[in-house]
Amino acid sequence: MPLSVGTQSLADKIRSDDVLKRIQAHYVESVAQAEDEYVHQAEESQTEALGKAYASLDETVESEDGRSAYRLVADYRKLHKRRKAEGDVDRCRGIFQIELNDDPRRIRYRVGLLFHAKVQWRGRDGALLDQSRRLNGNFRRAMVIDYSPEGYAAASCAHVIAADGDRKRMRNRVRKLSEMLAIEFVHGRMGIVNLYWDADEERLHDPAEPGHAFSIEHVFSMRVDRSTSGFIE
């Protein structure tokens, strides 16, 4: 049965504070590690470094009532660049996505958040504005990541467009990347249900624009496998 498009968040689906807190902590910890290891270089390399820090989670957390266990696996993949397919006129840098599975591996929930990145965004950036326009579907669909030695920040592409690509006009629209992922993404204020990179078909599944092709370069996945047997093998 296909998943329906909706606005429910991971927090709505996982009714365990301990599990949610561990997922949120991983986003915070992996971003902090990448920030600590910051070296000024192109956004491609910065994203790879973030991916290395991110792909460090594989553990099981029990729910508070002891009736369920959740295996949490964070994975990062850099996809090989391919020649654009016919009609593939847009590119985005990558996607953060979460998948929740029931035992026996029935997918209950998928959500994704597209992103593109910039190193030390200052002033008005026309290229950044153009990228944001290509990614923008609605407020929650995509974000811009700004890598900086002062810390990693993020903002909705919708806000970037409203500010005409000018960092000085963003004001309080910019959040810490760790907060954007751990709070906004986990609680459904950013991200679109059923937006995800399909590894089997090697394409972006986009419920809003099913016929619109994007080339993804970086995939940050969080898989949450739920078992009611008390353990997950």
What number of other Cβ atoms are within 10 A of residue 205's Cβ? 15
Is position 3 within any domain? no
Is position 177 within any domain? yes
Q: How far is Cα 115 from Cα 185, in angstroms, rounded to an integer?
A: 12
pLDDT in tens, 107-132: 889 999 999 999 988 889 888 899 89
Is position 23 within any domain? yes
pLDDT in tens, 134-189: 887 688 999 999 999 999 999 999 999 999 999 999 988 999 999 999 999 999 99
- Structural domain including 58 reads 10-200
> Which DSSP helix (H) or strand (E) runs through 27?
helix 17-36
C-alpha pair distances (Å), 223 with each of 10, 118, 200, 233: 11, 27, 16, 14
Is position 2 within any domain? no
Is position 217 within any domain? no
Is position 24 within any domain? yes
Residue 192 near residue 182, CB atoms below 8 Å: no
For the chain, what is the domain count? 1
Is position 90 within any domain? yes
Peptide bond into 104 cis (omega under 30): yes
What pTM was computed for the model? 0.88
Is position 226 within any domain? no
Q: Residue 103, Cα to own-chain centre: how many angstroms? A: 24
Residue 23 near residue 72, CB atoms below 8 Å: yes
CA nearest neighbour of 142 among 195, 79, 202 = 195
